Structure 1
Amino acid sequence: MSNIQEQIKKNMYFSMEQVSILNPRMVMEQTPRVLRYESDLLTIPLGNQVISYQGALSADGVNDIHKLIDRYQSKKLPFSWLIWSHDVGAEDLKPVLEARGMQKVDELAGMSLSLNNWKYNAPSISGFEIKPIRTKAEMDWFRQVVPTSFGFNEEDGKAFADITESAAFSENTVFQHYIGFMDGQPATGVTALTDGENIGIYNFATLEAYRRRGLGSATIAHALREAQAAGKKHAFLQVSKIGESIYKAIGFSDEVTIEVYCGE
Protein backbone atom coordinates (compact mmCIF):
# COMPACT_ATOMS: atom_id res chain seq x y z
CA MET A 1 0.00 0.00 0.00
CA SER A 2 1.42 3.37 -1.05
CA ASN A 3 1.58 6.17 1.49
CA ILE A 4 0.67 8.60 -1.31
CA GLN A 5 -2.50 6.62 -2.08
CA GLU A 6 -3.60 6.85 1.54
CA GLN A 7 -2.75 10.55 1.67
CA ILE A 8 -5.00 11.17 -1.34
CA LYS A 9 -7.84 9.33 0.39
CA LYS A 10 -7.31 11.07 3.73
CA ASN A 11 -7.18 14.46 2.03
CA MET A 12 -10.62 13.76 0.57
CA TYR A 13 -11.97 12.78 3.99
CA PHE A 14 -10.33 15.84 5.56
CA SER A 15 -12.08 18.11 3.04
CA MET A 16 -15.50 16.78 4.02
CA GLU A 17 -14.61 16.79 7.71
CA GLN A 18 -13.82 20.51 7.51
CA VAL A 19 -17.17 21.15 5.84
CA SER A 20 -18.97 19.14 8.54
CA ILE A 21 -17.52 21.28 11.35
CA LEU A 22 -19.83 24.10 10.26
CA ASN A 23 -22.79 21.91 9.32
CA PRO A 24 -24.43 19.97 12.18
CA ARG A 25 -26.65 18.26 9.59
CA MET A 26 -23.56 16.48 8.25
CA VAL A 27 -22.25 13.49 10.24
CA MET A 28 -18.79 11.98 9.73
CA GLU A 29 -17.68 8.49 10.71
CA GLN A 30 -14.11 7.18 10.84
CA THR A 31 -13.27 3.64 11.99
CA PRO A 32 -10.44 1.23 11.10
CA ARG A 33 -12.67 -0.04 8.26
CA VAL A 34 -14.79 2.86 7.08
CA LEU A 35 -14.57 6.55 6.20
CA ARG A 36 -17.97 8.00 5.40
CA TYR A 37 -20.46 10.82 5.90
CA GLU A 38 -24.18 11.38 5.70
CA SER A 39 -26.33 14.49 5.47
CA ASP A 40 -29.53 15.95 4.09
CA LEU A 41 -27.80 18.98 2.58
CA LEU A 42 -27.80 17.84 -1.06
CA THR A 43 -30.09 15.63 -3.15
CA ILE A 44 -27.22 14.27 -5.27
CA PRO A 45 -24.95 11.25 -4.54
CA LEU A 46 -22.17 13.58 -3.32
CA GLY A 47 -24.36 14.46 -0.34
CA ASN A 48 -24.04 10.99 1.21
CA GLN A 49 -20.95 8.90 0.61
CA VAL A 50 -18.82 6.02 1.80
CA ILE A 51 -15.36 7.35 0.97
CA SER A 52 -13.68 4.06 1.81
CA TYR A 53 -14.48 0.61 3.17
CA GLN A 54 -11.58 -1.79 3.43
CA GLY A 55 -10.59 -5.14 4.85
CA ALA A 56 -11.12 -8.81 4.03
CA LEU A 57 -14.85 -9.49 3.75
CA SER A 58 -16.03 -11.94 6.39
CA ALA A 59 -19.71 -12.69 6.99
CA ASP A 60 -19.70 -9.92 9.60
CA GLY A 61 -18.14 -7.55 7.08
CA VAL A 62 -20.81 -8.26 4.47
CA ASN A 63 -23.49 -7.74 7.11
CA ASP A 64 -21.86 -4.43 8.04
CA ILE A 65 -22.00 -3.31 4.39
CA HIS A 66 -25.70 -4.19 4.17
CA LYS A 67 -26.37 -2.15 7.30
CA LEU A 68 -24.59 0.86 5.81
CA ILE A 69 -26.60 0.61 2.60
CA ASP A 70 -29.83 0.23 4.60
CA ARG A 71 -28.91 3.33 6.59
CA TYR A 72 -28.40 5.43 3.46
CA GLN A 73 -31.51 4.05 1.75
CA SER A 74 -33.61 4.95 4.79
CA LYS A 75 -32.77 8.61 4.08
CA LYS A 76 -34.41 8.27 0.64
CA LEU A 77 -31.61 10.26 -0.95
CA PRO A 78 -29.06 9.18 -3.59
CA PHE A 79 -25.73 8.05 -2.16
CA SER A 80 -22.33 7.00 -3.49
CA TRP A 81 -19.65 4.48 -2.52
CA LEU A 82 -16.00 4.74 -3.56
CA ILE A 83 -13.78 1.71 -4.13
CA TRP A 84 -10.03 2.37 -4.08
CA SER A 85 -7.87 0.00 -6.11
CA HIS A 86 -5.23 -0.28 -3.36
CA ASP A 87 -7.64 -1.16 -0.55
CA VAL A 88 -7.69 -4.67 0.88
CA GLY A 89 -10.91 -6.40 -0.21
CA ALA A 90 -11.63 -3.95 -3.05
CA GLU A 91 -12.51 -6.63 -5.62
CA ASP A 92 -14.67 -8.57 -3.15
CA LEU A 93 -16.65 -5.44 -2.33
CA LYS A 94 -17.96 -4.83 -5.86
CA PRO A 95 -20.34 -7.83 -6.15
CA VAL A 96 -21.77 -7.07 -2.70
CA LEU A 97 -22.69 -3.54 -3.79
CA GLU A 98 -24.01 -4.73 -7.14
CA ALA A 99 -26.21 -7.33 -5.45
CA ARG A 100 -27.86 -4.43 -3.60
CA GLY A 101 -28.61 -2.63 -6.85
CA MET A 102 -25.72 -0.19 -6.78
CA GLN A 103 -24.21 0.62 -10.17
CA LYS A 104 -20.76 1.76 -11.22
CA VAL A 105 -21.16 5.23 -12.73
CA ASP A 106 -17.62 6.58 -13.02
CA GLU A 107 -13.93 5.83 -12.64
CA LEU A 108 -11.62 8.44 -11.15
CA ALA A 109 -7.88 8.82 -11.05
CA GLY A 110 -6.40 9.77 -7.69
CA MET A 111 -3.40 11.91 -8.64
CA SER A 112 -0.46 13.54 -6.88
CA LEU A 113 2.14 16.17 -7.67
CA SER A 114 5.37 16.93 -5.81
CA LEU A 115 5.72 20.69 -5.49
CA ASN A 116 9.44 20.40 -4.78
CA ASN A 117 11.11 22.15 -7.74
CA TRP A 118 7.85 21.90 -9.72
CA LYS A 119 7.65 24.24 -12.70
CA TYR A 120 4.91 24.72 -15.27
CA ASN A 121 4.96 27.29 -18.02
CA ALA A 122 1.31 28.05 -18.65
CA PRO A 123 0.70 29.66 -22.04
CA SER A 124 -0.17 33.34 -22.02
CA ILE A 125 -3.90 33.81 -22.60
CA SER A 126 -4.96 37.27 -23.74
CA GLY A 127 -7.77 38.73 -21.65
CA PHE A 128 -7.46 36.10 -18.89
CA GLU A 129 -7.02 37.01 -15.20
CA ILE A 130 -7.13 34.91 -12.01
CA LYS A 131 -8.38 36.31 -8.70
CA PRO A 132 -8.65 34.80 -5.21
CA ILE A 133 -12.02 35.15 -3.51
CA ARG A 134 -11.50 37.36 -0.47
CA THR A 135 -15.03 38.47 0.49
CA LYS A 136 -18.47 36.90 0.71
CA ALA A 137 -19.68 39.26 -2.00
CA GLU A 138 -17.06 37.79 -4.33
CA MET A 139 -18.56 34.33 -3.78
CA ASP A 140 -21.05 35.39 -6.46
CA TRP A 141 -18.24 34.61 -8.95
CA PHE A 142 -18.09 31.06 -7.59
CA ARG A 143 -21.87 30.74 -7.79
CA GLN A 144 -21.81 31.76 -11.45
CA VAL A 145 -19.23 29.14 -12.41
CA VAL A 146 -19.01 26.01 -10.27
CA PRO A 147 -22.60 24.81 -9.64
CA THR A 148 -23.52 25.46 -13.28
CA SER A 149 -20.46 23.63 -14.59
CA PHE A 150 -21.29 20.64 -12.38
CA GLY A 151 -24.83 20.52 -13.73
CA PHE A 152 -26.51 21.01 -10.35
CA ASN A 153 -30.17 21.92 -10.23
CA GLU A 154 -31.04 25.28 -8.70
CA GLU A 155 -31.69 23.91 -5.19
CA ASP A 156 -28.52 21.81 -4.98
CA GLY A 157 -26.47 24.54 -6.65
CA LYS A 158 -27.50 27.07 -4.01
CA ALA A 159 -26.93 24.60 -1.16
CA PHE A 160 -23.49 23.64 -2.50
CA ALA A 161 -22.44 27.28 -2.89
CA ASP A 162 -23.73 28.12 0.60
CA ILE A 163 -21.72 25.22 2.06
CA THR A 164 -18.51 26.24 0.29
CA GLU A 165 -19.00 29.87 1.28
CA SER A 166 -19.39 29.06 4.97
CA ALA A 167 -16.29 26.84 4.80
CA ALA A 168 -14.20 29.52 3.08
CA PHE A 169 -15.03 32.24 5.58
CA SER A 170 -14.93 30.29 8.82
CA GLU A 171 -12.33 30.98 11.50
CA ASN A 172 -8.96 29.42 10.59
CA THR A 173 -10.32 28.26 7.25
CA VAL A 174 -8.28 25.82 5.17
CA PHE A 175 -10.11 26.64 1.92
CA GLN A 176 -9.18 29.20 -0.74
CA HIS A 177 -11.30 29.67 -3.86
CA TYR A 178 -9.88 31.06 -7.11
CA ILE A 179 -11.83 32.32 -10.12
CA GLY A 180 -10.46 32.82 -13.63
CA PHE A 181 -11.95 35.67 -15.66
CA MET A 182 -12.01 35.85 -19.45
CA ASP A 183 -12.53 39.38 -20.75
CA GLY A 184 -13.88 40.33 -17.33
CA GLN A 185 -16.38 37.47 -17.05
CA PRO A 186 -16.14 34.58 -14.54
CA ALA A 187 -15.15 31.54 -16.59
CA THR A 188 -13.40 28.95 -14.45
CA GLY A 189 -12.85 28.13 -10.79
CA VAL A 190 -10.90 25.94 -8.39
CA THR A 191 -10.63 25.44 -4.63
CA ALA A 192 -7.36 24.76 -2.81
CA LEU A 193 -7.58 22.93 0.53
CA THR A 194 -4.61 23.24 2.89
CA ASP A 195 -3.90 20.02 4.81
CA GLY A 196 -0.66 20.44 6.74
CA GLU A 197 2.21 20.36 4.23
CA ASN A 198 -0.13 19.27 1.44
CA ILE A 199 -2.98 20.76 -0.54
CA GLY A 200 -5.99 19.22 -2.22
CA ILE A 201 -7.42 20.62 -5.44
CA TYR A 202 -11.24 20.57 -5.58
CA ASN A 203 -14.18 22.17 -7.40
CA PHE A 204 -12.24 22.58 -10.65
CA ALA A 205 -14.82 23.73 -13.15
CA THR A 206 -15.04 25.69 -16.40
CA LEU A 207 -18.20 27.02 -18.02
CA GLU A 208 -19.02 25.30 -21.31
CA ALA A 209 -18.46 28.44 -23.41
CA TYR A 210 -14.87 28.73 -22.14
CA ARG A 211 -13.70 25.13 -22.33
CA ARG A 212 -10.79 23.78 -24.40
CA ARG A 213 -8.86 27.06 -24.13
CA GLY A 214 -6.50 26.10 -21.30
CA LEU A 215 -8.25 28.33 -18.76
CA GLY A 216 -8.85 25.56 -16.23
CA SER A 217 -5.25 24.36 -16.40
CA ALA A 218 -3.99 27.91 -15.93
CA THR A 219 -6.22 28.41 -12.87
CA ILE A 220 -5.10 25.15 -11.26
CA ALA A 221 -1.45 26.01 -11.98
CA HIS A 222 -1.97 29.38 -10.29
CA ALA A 223 -3.32 27.69 -7.14
CA LEU A 224 -0.36 25.29 -7.18
CA ARG A 225 2.15 28.14 -7.43
CA GLU A 226 0.51 29.85 -4.47
CA ALA A 227 0.79 26.62 -2.46
CA GLN A 228 4.39 26.11 -3.54
CA ALA A 229 5.28 29.65 -2.47
CA ALA A 230 3.70 28.90 0.93
CA GLY A 231 6.00 25.90 1.36
CA LYS A 232 3.55 23.09 0.63
CA LYS A 233 5.07 19.75 -0.42
CA HIS A 234 2.43 17.82 -2.36
CA ALA A 235 -0.84 18.43 -4.19
CA PHE A 236 -3.62 15.86 -4.57
CA LEU A 237 -6.76 15.65 -6.67
CA GLN A 238 -9.34 13.19 -7.96
CA VAL A 239 -10.53 13.50 -11.54
CA SER A 240 -12.52 11.47 -14.05
CA LYS A 241 -10.24 9.15 -16.04
CA ILE A 242 -11.50 10.83 -19.21
CA GLY A 243 -9.83 14.12 -18.27
CA GLU A 244 -6.68 12.96 -16.52
CA SER A 245 -4.39 13.86 -19.46
CA ILE A 246 -5.01 17.54 -18.71
CA TYR A 247 -3.61 17.16 -15.21
CA LYS A 248 -0.71 14.99 -16.32
CA ALA A 249 0.33 17.87 -18.57
CA ILE A 250 0.54 20.07 -15.47
CA GLY A 251 2.74 17.48 -13.75
CA PHE A 252 0.33 15.24 -11.81
CA SER A 253 0.90 11.47 -11.70
CA ASP A 254 -1.80 8.80 -11.59
CA GLU A 255 -1.52 7.00 -8.22
CA VAL A 256 -4.76 5.09 -7.67
CA THR A 257 -8.02 4.19 -9.42
CA ILE A 258 -11.25 5.09 -7.64
CA GLU A 259 -14.45 3.42 -8.84
CA VAL A 260 -17.67 5.27 -8.08
CA TYR A 261 -20.85 3.32 -7.32
CA CYS A 262 -24.22 4.96 -6.80
CA GLY A 263 -27.46 3.83 -5.18
CA GLU A 264 -30.70 5.28 -3.90
Structure 2
Amino acid sequence: MQRNDPLKSIALAYISLRVNLSLEGHTERRSDGATLAASGAPVASLNAVISPDLEPDAKTMETLAGSEALAGLPWSMHVRGLPKAGVIDVARRHGLTHTTELPLMIRHPQAGQPAAGNGVLVRPVDGDEMTVYARTLADGFGVPHEAFALFANPALADTEGFTFYLAESDGELVGTGMAAVQGDLLGVFNIGVLPRHRRQGHGRAITTEIVRAHYATGATTAYLYSSPMGESVYAAAGFKEEEVLTMFTAPS
Protein backbone atom coordinates (compact mmCIF):
# COMPACT_ATOMS: atom_id res chain seq x y z
CA MET A 1 0.00 0.00 0.00
CA GLN A 2 1.32 3.46 -0.91
CA ARG A 3 1.78 5.45 2.27
CA ASN A 4 1.16 9.16 2.56
CA ASP A 5 4.00 10.91 0.74
CA PRO A 6 3.61 14.72 0.74
CA LEU A 7 6.98 15.25 -0.93
CA LYS A 8 6.40 12.97 -3.91
CA SER A 9 5.19 15.88 -6.04
CA ILE A 10 8.60 17.47 -5.61
CA ALA A 11 10.34 14.22 -6.55
CA LEU A 12 8.23 14.02 -9.71
CA ALA A 13 8.97 17.65 -10.58
CA TYR A 14 12.69 16.94 -10.15
CA ILE A 15 12.45 13.98 -12.51
CA SER A 16 10.62 16.08 -15.11
CA LEU A 17 13.32 18.72 -15.12
CA ARG A 18 16.00 16.05 -15.50
CA VAL A 19 14.15 14.69 -18.52
CA ASN A 20 13.87 18.18 -20.00
CA LEU A 21 17.59 18.78 -19.53
CA SER A 22 18.31 15.67 -21.60
CA LEU A 23 17.23 17.31 -24.86
CA GLU A 24 19.94 15.65 -26.92
CA GLY A 25 20.33 12.56 -24.78
CA HIS A 26 18.17 9.56 -23.94
CA THR A 27 15.27 9.15 -21.54
CA GLU A 28 13.14 6.22 -20.41
CA ARG A 29 10.28 6.29 -17.92
CA ARG A 30 8.62 3.32 -16.23
CA SER A 31 5.01 3.02 -15.07
CA ASP A 32 6.00 3.63 -11.44
CA GLY A 33 7.74 6.89 -12.39
CA ALA A 34 11.29 5.54 -12.20
CA THR A 35 13.26 7.28 -14.91
CA LEU A 36 16.51 7.14 -16.82
CA ALA A 37 17.62 10.61 -17.91
CA ALA A 38 20.95 10.51 -19.73
CA SER A 39 22.01 13.93 -20.95
CA GLY A 40 25.25 12.66 -22.43
CA ALA A 41 27.31 15.14 -20.40
CA PRO A 42 30.65 13.92 -18.99
CA VAL A 43 29.31 14.36 -15.44
CA ALA A 44 27.84 11.47 -13.44
CA SER A 45 25.13 13.57 -11.80
CA LEU A 46 23.76 14.60 -15.21
CA ASN A 47 23.18 11.00 -16.34
CA ALA A 48 20.92 9.40 -13.80
CA VAL A 49 18.54 6.63 -12.87
CA ILE A 50 16.02 8.20 -10.50
CA SER A 51 13.03 6.91 -8.54
CA PRO A 52 10.27 9.17 -7.15
CA ASP A 53 9.31 6.57 -4.53
CA LEU A 54 10.48 6.28 -0.95
CA GLU A 55 10.78 2.52 -1.53
CA PRO A 56 12.02 2.06 -5.11
CA ASP A 57 11.48 -1.23 -6.90
CA ALA A 58 14.95 -2.78 -7.19
CA LYS A 59 14.07 -4.74 -10.35
CA THR A 60 12.97 -1.59 -12.14
CA MET A 61 16.11 0.23 -11.06
CA GLU A 62 18.21 -2.72 -12.30
CA THR A 63 16.51 -2.64 -15.69
CA LEU A 64 17.12 1.07 -16.14
CA ALA A 65 20.69 0.79 -14.87
CA GLY A 66 21.39 -1.79 -17.58
CA SER A 67 20.38 0.53 -20.41
CA GLU A 68 22.81 0.75 -23.32
CA ALA A 69 22.28 4.53 -23.20
CA LEU A 70 24.58 4.65 -20.16
CA ALA A 71 27.40 2.72 -21.81
CA GLY A 72 30.60 4.75 -21.74
CA LEU A 73 29.07 7.55 -19.66
CA PRO A 74 29.73 8.48 -16.05
CA TRP A 75 26.36 8.08 -14.36
CA SER A 76 24.57 7.97 -11.05
CA MET A 77 21.55 6.58 -9.24
CA HIS A 78 19.33 8.91 -7.21
CA VAL A 79 16.97 7.69 -4.49
CA ARG A 80 15.09 9.47 -1.77
CA GLY A 81 16.12 9.08 1.83
CA LEU A 82 18.42 6.32 3.04
CA PRO A 83 18.37 3.46 0.52
CA LYS A 84 17.45 -0.09 1.42
CA ALA A 85 19.48 -3.21 0.70
CA GLY A 86 17.91 -4.01 -2.68
CA VAL A 87 18.79 -0.65 -4.20
CA ILE A 88 22.25 -0.70 -2.62
CA ASP A 89 22.85 -4.08 -4.25
CA VAL A 90 21.82 -2.73 -7.66
CA ALA A 91 24.21 0.18 -7.29
CA ARG A 92 27.08 -2.07 -6.24
CA ARG A 93 26.57 -4.44 -9.16
CA HIS A 94 27.10 -1.48 -11.45
CA GLY A 95 30.15 -0.15 -9.64
CA LEU A 96 28.34 2.73 -7.91
CA THR A 97 29.83 2.36 -4.45
CA HIS A 98 30.24 6.00 -3.43
CA THR A 99 27.27 7.79 -1.85
CA THR A 100 26.53 11.48 -1.37
CA GLU A 101 23.58 12.79 0.63
CA LEU A 102 22.08 15.99 -0.76
CA PRO A 103 19.61 17.77 1.56
CA LEU A 104 16.22 18.52 0.01
CA MET A 105 15.39 22.02 1.24
CA ILE A 106 11.92 23.51 0.85
CA ARG A 107 10.52 27.02 1.20
CA HIS A 108 6.81 26.72 2.01
CA PRO A 109 4.11 29.29 1.19
CA GLN A 110 3.85 30.50 4.78
CA ALA A 111 7.40 31.84 4.50
CA GLY A 112 5.97 34.55 2.25
CA GLN A 113 7.74 36.68 -0.33
CA PRO A 114 11.45 36.97 0.58
CA ALA A 115 13.09 40.33 1.09
CA ALA A 116 15.12 41.78 -1.75
CA GLY A 117 18.75 40.69 -2.09
CA ASN A 118 21.93 42.73 -1.86
CA GLY A 119 21.49 44.75 -5.03
CA VAL A 120 22.93 42.17 -7.44
CA LEU A 121 21.23 42.28 -10.84
CA VAL A 122 19.80 38.82 -11.56
CA ARG A 123 18.49 38.72 -15.11
CA PRO A 124 17.04 35.99 -17.34
CA VAL A 125 18.99 35.11 -20.47
CA ASP A 126 17.85 34.04 -23.92
CA GLY A 127 19.33 31.50 -26.29
CA ASP A 128 22.01 33.88 -27.56
CA GLU A 129 23.61 34.03 -24.10
CA MET A 130 23.53 30.36 -23.20
CA THR A 131 27.18 29.90 -24.15
CA VAL A 132 28.15 32.63 -21.69
CA TYR A 133 25.82 31.06 -19.14
CA ALA A 134 27.39 27.62 -19.49
CA ARG A 135 30.93 28.96 -19.15
CA THR A 136 30.05 31.07 -16.11
CA LEU A 137 28.29 28.11 -14.53
CA ALA A 138 31.34 25.88 -15.03
CA ASP A 139 33.66 28.54 -13.63
CA GLY A 140 31.38 28.97 -10.62
CA PHE A 141 31.47 25.25 -9.89
CA GLY A 142 35.17 24.97 -10.65
CA VAL A 143 34.86 22.37 -13.42
CA PRO A 144 36.07 22.28 -17.04
CA HIS A 145 33.81 24.08 -19.50
CA GLU A 146 33.00 20.84 -21.34
CA ALA A 147 31.43 19.44 -18.17
CA PHE A 148 28.49 21.81 -18.48
CA ALA A 149 28.48 22.25 -22.26
CA LEU A 150 24.90 20.97 -22.43
CA PHE A 151 23.77 24.27 -20.86
CA ALA A 152 25.09 26.12 -23.90
CA ASN A 153 22.24 24.67 -25.98
CA PRO A 154 20.09 27.67 -27.06
CA ALA A 155 17.01 25.41 -27.15
CA LEU A 156 17.11 25.07 -23.36
CA ALA A 157 16.25 28.75 -22.99
CA ASP A 158 12.99 28.07 -24.87
CA THR A 159 12.07 24.94 -22.91
CA GLU A 160 8.78 25.41 -21.08
CA GLY A 161 9.24 25.97 -17.38
CA PHE A 162 12.96 26.76 -17.54
CA THR A 163 14.52 30.16 -16.91
CA PHE A 164 18.28 30.66 -16.79
CA TYR A 165 19.83 33.60 -14.98
CA LEU A 166 23.10 35.50 -15.01
CA ALA A 167 23.95 37.66 -12.01
CA GLU A 168 25.93 40.88 -12.28
CA SER A 169 27.41 43.36 -9.83
CA ASP A 170 28.74 46.72 -11.05
CA GLY A 171 28.48 45.42 -14.61
CA GLU A 172 30.61 42.33 -13.94
CA LEU A 173 29.37 38.73 -14.04
CA VAL A 174 29.34 37.17 -10.58
CA GLY A 175 27.27 34.01 -10.91
CA THR A 176 24.39 31.96 -12.26
CA GLY A 177 21.04 30.46 -11.34
CA MET A 178 18.27 28.42 -12.89
CA ALA A 179 14.55 28.08 -12.24
CA ALA A 180 12.44 25.05 -13.17
CA VAL A 181 8.72 25.67 -12.65
CA GLN A 182 6.03 23.02 -12.70
CA GLY A 183 2.62 24.18 -11.55
CA ASP A 184 3.11 26.02 -8.26
CA LEU A 185 6.48 24.34 -7.59
CA LEU A 186 9.68 26.27 -8.19
CA GLY A 187 12.93 24.32 -8.40
CA VAL A 188 16.05 26.41 -7.83
CA PHE A 189 19.25 25.04 -9.34
CA ASN A 190 22.71 26.00 -10.67
CA ILE A 191 23.38 28.59 -7.99
CA GLY A 192 27.04 29.25 -8.65
CA VAL A 193 29.26 32.20 -7.72
CA LEU A 194 32.61 32.90 -9.36
CA PRO A 195 35.49 32.35 -6.94
CA ARG A 196 36.62 35.97 -6.76
CA HIS A 197 33.09 37.09 -5.85
CA ARG A 198 32.36 34.66 -3.04
CA ARG A 199 31.65 35.53 0.60
CA GLN A 200 29.77 38.67 -0.41
CA GLY A 201 26.22 37.33 -0.12
CA HIS A 202 25.79 36.79 -3.85
CA GLY A 203 24.63 33.16 -3.58
CA ARG A 204 21.83 34.13 -1.24
CA ALA A 205 20.96 37.17 -3.38
CA ILE A 206 20.69 35.08 -6.57
CA THR A 207 18.51 32.52 -4.80
CA THR A 208 16.29 35.19 -3.28
CA GLU A 209 15.78 37.06 -6.55
CA ILE A 210 14.82 33.86 -8.39
CA VAL A 211 12.28 33.05 -5.67
CA ARG A 212 10.89 36.59 -5.74
CA ALA A 213 10.52 36.57 -9.53
CA HIS A 214 8.62 33.30 -9.66
CA TYR A 215 6.52 33.83 -6.56
CA ALA A 216 5.31 36.99 -8.30
CA THR A 217 4.09 34.88 -11.25
CA GLY A 218 2.30 32.14 -9.32
CA ALA A 219 4.79 29.77 -7.71
CA THR A 220 4.10 29.18 -4.01
CA THR A 221 6.63 26.54 -2.91
CA ALA A 222 10.34 26.52 -3.75
CA TYR A 223 12.70 23.59 -3.42
CA LEU A 224 16.33 22.77 -4.07
CA TYR A 225 18.92 20.10 -3.41
CA SER A 226 21.79 21.63 -1.51
CA SER A 227 25.41 20.75 -1.13
CA PRO A 228 26.43 20.60 2.53
CA MET A 229 28.37 23.83 1.94
CA GLY A 230 25.27 25.67 0.71
CA GLU A 231 22.85 24.73 3.48
CA SER A 232 23.44 27.84 5.59
CA VAL A 233 23.00 30.08 2.54
CA TYR A 234 19.63 28.57 1.67
CA ALA A 235 18.49 28.44 5.28
CA ALA A 236 19.07 32.19 5.45
CA ALA A 237 16.79 32.52 2.40
CA GLY A 238 13.96 30.68 4.19
CA PHE A 239 14.55 27.09 3.06
CA LYS A 240 14.37 24.18 5.51
CA GLU A 241 15.75 20.66 5.14
CA GLU A 242 12.98 18.04 4.94
CA GLU A 243 14.54 15.02 3.27
CA VAL A 244 17.77 13.85 1.66
CA LEU A 245 18.51 12.60 -1.82
CA THR A 246 21.09 9.82 -1.86
CA MET A 247 23.23 9.80 -4.99
CA PHE A 248 25.30 6.72 -5.87
CA THR A 249 28.32 7.23 -8.11
CA ALA A 250 31.43 5.29 -9.03
CA PRO A 251 34.40 6.21 -6.87
CA SER A 252 36.66 8.83 -8.43
TM-score (norm 2): 0.85
CA distance in 2, matches of 1:49, 1:138: 27
Is 1:219 the counterpart of 2:206? The answer is: yes
Is 1:154 the counterpart of 2:149? The answer is: no
Question: For residues 27 and 261 of structure 1, do their structure 2 counterparts lie closer, same or farther at Cα, with a shift above 3 Å needed?
Answer: same
Higher relative contact order (CA 8 A, sep 6+): 1
Deviation per residue, 1:82-134 (Å, 9 max, x gap): 12117xxx322224423543122421011211235614335635xx322222x
SS in 2 for 1:17: helix
2:136 paired residue number? 145
1:5 paired residue number? 7
Is 1:210 the counterpart of 2:197? The answer is: yes
Question: For residues 176 and 26 of structure 1, do their structure 2 counterparts lie closer, same or farther at Cα, with a shift above 3 Å needed?
Answer: same
Is 1:35 the counterpart of 2:24? The answer is: no
Is 1:169 the counterpart of 2:132? The answer is: no
Deviation per residue, 1:224-259 (Å, 9 max, x gap): 111111121111111123321211111111111111
CA distance in 2, matches of 1:100, 1:138: 38
Is 1:262 the counterpart of 2:252? The answer is: no
CA distance in 2, matches of 1:153, 1:145: 11
Is 1:107 the counterpart of 2:101? The answer is: yes
CA distance in 2, matches of 1:196, 1:166: 21
Cα drift, residue 73 of structure 1: 8.5
CA distance in 2, matches of 1:53, 1:121: 32
2:64 paired residue number? 68
Cα drift, residue 147 of structure 1: 2.0
CA distance in 2, matches of 1:94, 1:136: 40
Question: For residues 105 and 208 of structure 1, do their structure 2 counterparts lie closer, same or farther at Cα, with a shift above 3 Å needed?
Answer: farther
Q: In terms of Rg, which structure is larger? A: 1
CA contact (8 A) 1:62 1:96 kept: yes
Of 30-39 and 191-200, more deviation after overlay is shown by 30-39
TM-score (norm 1): 0.81
Q: 2:122 aligns with which of 120, 123, 130?
A: 130
Q: Which AA in structure 2 matches 1:68? A: L
Q: Which AA in structure 1 matches 2:75? A: F
Deviation per residue, 1:165-185 (Å, 9 max, x gap): 312124xx2111122112211
CA distance in 2, matches of 1:146, 1:257: 24
SS in 2 for 1:101: coil
- Over the matched positions of the two proteins, sequence identity in percent amounts to 22
**Unmatched 5+ residue regions in structure 1?**
none
Deviation per residue, 1:130-184 (Å, 9 max, x gap): 2222x3333344134212223343333323322xx312124xx211112211221
CA distance in 1, matches of 2:229, 2:106: 17
Of 66-75 and 234-243, more deviation after overlay is shown by 66-75
Question: For residues 115 and 63 of structure 1, do their structure 2 counterparts lie closer, same or farther at Cα, with a shift above 3 Å needed?
Answer: closer
CA distance in 2, matches of 1:62, 1:120: 41
Cα drift, residue 201 of structure 1: 0.8
Cα drift, residue 202 of structure 1: 1.4
CA contact (8 A) 1:180 1:188 kept: yes
Q: 1:186 aligns with which of 173, 176, 194?
A: 173
